[in-house]
């Protein structure tokens, strides 16, 4: 049983349905996410074809107008990949040919499905990164506000899951805010790898057409191109792995925070709580208020942290050139953005209603976490540190230890000097890069659409 011949590569021999189904995989579903980027890439490509004489100006105007209509249909949710059509590239070209006749067949000159899907993925990744940054900013702002609000509310600090030294909610929330600033630095580096134009590399060996690759680079707002055409194809899988690594660092931040929340919500800690409607219950224990949202965030983040390794294993031992193995990356990689965006959103959403318990450290079980304070106080009074350490230990053993009346943490990043303004400035510096990119890309798309 054969499929219809709606494939860019198909000639006179039809492929068996079983072969077709297996090789296409999830491409038709996932390609819907690439549709608008395929159109944007084609709009830039036909302008370049016109500049080198492969399209006439009138043909450019006709095709551009129709591609812009297809883009609008995609934005309105009206675009579908028809039965028997292999992928988004075939669907767009089929629609143009049906509506414009033979002129629609001209848009594939000078490119291959290989550099076409590479381009679509690069444009998709750029857009998804900018959405991630917006959600990271919203979470950062909430963490920053909570750190400032609760900067004077003390919290037990732990090492080895043992009560260790005084901390504060200001330190706790601020730590994750600063972690997000680092995550943006890493994401910016990955974005730079992604933000390079592969169009014109064709099947990985360039073209005998006198393509103007710099023109499409400029039209699409890329930082530069992947210059070497072989490397452009080698970049598939590499770009996804680099970007998934940066996504994994964000997942590491959120996942660790989710773990803290699960601990701090438990009855053995009781440091924080959420309204009942933000938690779930038990089928047999009426008293339970479970942190299911944060448990699922923790699990999702762990899954995201595994993604770079999955991509690395798919690409292991592949020689240069295109291989169908690379198709498999899309099935895990593309949905990962939705997964991470939902984790960022839900973490911020939950923090809108977090309730912090005050006066935690007045409980007697936290008494000895102030031992270091007394050691330091004795040192400041002139006693050698090792002698002070022994003296305080003796006081604890004899039951003579008394909590110091005052905490004196003044150095940068400590209880009394959170350095939140500096952390915010770091985040803003990284954020500005992405804000500039958002403007550039938006302007370039507007220029291409007619």
Identify the domain containing residue 371 by its residue range: 363-418
Do 282 and 139 fall into the same domain? yes
Do 76 and 46 fall into the same domain? yes
- The answer to the question of residue 426 being in a domain is yes
What distance in Å separates the CA atoms of residue 115 and residue 126, rounded to the nearest whole number? 16
- The answer to the question of residue 340 being in a domain is yes
Virtual torsion, Cα 228, 233, 234, 240, nearest 10 deg: 120
Do 28 and 85 fall into the same domain? yes
Please state the domain count of the chain: 3
Do 279 and 296 fall into the same domain? yes
Question: What is the per-residue pLDDT across 329-383, written as a single tens digit (0 to 9) for each?
Answer: 999 999 999 999 999 999 999 999 999 999 898 888 888 778 888 888 888 888 8
What distance in Å separates the CA atoms of residue 226 and residue 229, rounded to the nearest whole number? 7
282 catalytic residue (yes or no):
yes
- The answer to the question of residue 157 being in a domain is no
Do 258 and 326 fall into the same domain? yes
SS3 356: strand
Query: What confidence category does residue 7 fall into, taking pLDDT thresholds of 50, 70 and 90?
Result: low
Q: What is the pTM of this model?
A: 0.90
Candidate list 160, 283, 405, 411, residue with the active-site label: 160
269 catalytic residue (yes or no):
no
Query: What confidence category does residue 1 fall into, taking pLDDT thresholds of 50, 70 and 90?
Result: very low
CATH for 265: 1.20.200.10
Do 265 and 312 fall into the same domain? yes
SS3 158: strand
Do 444 and 375 fall into the same domain? no
What distance in Å separates the CA atoms of residue 141 and residue 139, rounded to the nearest whole number? 5
Candidate list 189, 282, 320, 442, residue with the active-site label: 282
Question: What is the per-residue pLDDT across 201-240, written as a single tens digit (0 to 9) for each?
Answer: 999 999 999 999 999 999 999 999 999 999 999 999 999 9
What distance in Å separates the CA atoms of residue 380 and residue 345, rounded to the nearest whole number? 47
Do 299 and 437 fall into the same domain? yes
- The answer to the question of residue 374 being in a domain is yes
Do 295 and 388 fall into the same domain? no
Do 377 and 308 fall into the same domain? no
Query: What confidence category does residue 286 fall into, taking pLDDT thresholds of 50, 70 and 90?
Result: low
Do 186 and 268 fall into the same domain? yes
- The answer to the question of residue 6 being in a domain is no
Do 339 and 426 fall into the same domain? yes
């Amino acid at each position: 049983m054969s499929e219809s011949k709606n494939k860019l590569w198909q000639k006179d021999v039809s492929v068996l349905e079983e072969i077709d189904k297996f090789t296409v995989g999830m491409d038709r579903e996932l390609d819907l996410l690439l549709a608008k980027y395929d159109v944007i890439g084609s709009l830039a490509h036909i302008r370049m074809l016109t500049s080198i004489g492969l399209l006439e100006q009138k043909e450019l105007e006709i095709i551009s107008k129709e591609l812009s209509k297809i883009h609008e249909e995609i934005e309105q949710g009206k675009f579908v990949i028809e039965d028997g059509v292999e992928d988004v590239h075939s669907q767009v070209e089929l629609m143009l040919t049906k509506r414009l006749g033979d002129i629609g067949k001209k848009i594939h000159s000078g490119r291959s499905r290989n550099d076409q899907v590479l381009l679509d993925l690069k444009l998709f990744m750029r857009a998804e990164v900018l959405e991630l940054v917006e959600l990271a900013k919203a979470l950062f702002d909430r963490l920053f506000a909570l750190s400032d609000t609760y900067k004077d509310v003390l919290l037990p600090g732990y090492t080895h899951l043992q009560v260790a030294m005084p901390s504060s909610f200001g330190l706790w929330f601020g730590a994750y805010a600063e972690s997000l600033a680092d995550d943006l630095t890493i994401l910016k580096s990955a974005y730079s790898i992604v933000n390079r134009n592969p169009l014109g590399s064709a099947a990985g060996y360039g073209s005998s057409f006198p393509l103007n690759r710099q023109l499409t680079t400029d039209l699409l707002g890329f930082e530069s191109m992947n210059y070497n055409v072989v490397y452009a194809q080698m970049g598939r899988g590499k770009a996804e792995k680099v970007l998934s690594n940066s996504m994994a660092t964000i997942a590491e931040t959120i996942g660790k925070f989710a773990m803290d929340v699960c601990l701090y919500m438990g009855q053995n800690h009781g440091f924080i709580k959420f309204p009942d409607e933000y938690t779930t219950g038990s089928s047999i224990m009426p008293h339970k208020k479970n942190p299911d949202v944060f448990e699922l965030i923790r699990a999702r983040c762990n899954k995201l942290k595994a993604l770079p390794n999955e991509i690395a294993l798919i690409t292991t031992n592949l020689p240069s050139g295109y291989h169908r193995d690379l198709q498999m990356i899309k099935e895990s990689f593309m949905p990962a953005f939705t997964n991470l965006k939902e984790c960022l959103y839900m973490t911020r959403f939950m923090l809108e209603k977090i309730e912090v318990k005050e006066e935690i450290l007045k409980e007697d079980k936290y008494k000895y976490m102030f031992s270091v304070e007394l050691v330091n106080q004795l040192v400041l009074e002139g006693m050698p540190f090792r002698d002070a350490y022994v003296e305080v230990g003796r006081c604890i053993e004899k039951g003579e230890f008394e909590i110091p009346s005052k905490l004196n943490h003044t150095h940068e990043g400590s209880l009394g000097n959170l350095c939140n303004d500096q952390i915010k400035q770091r985040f803003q510096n990284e954020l500005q890069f992405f804000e500039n990119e958002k403007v550039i890309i938006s302007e370039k798309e507007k220029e291409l659409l007619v």
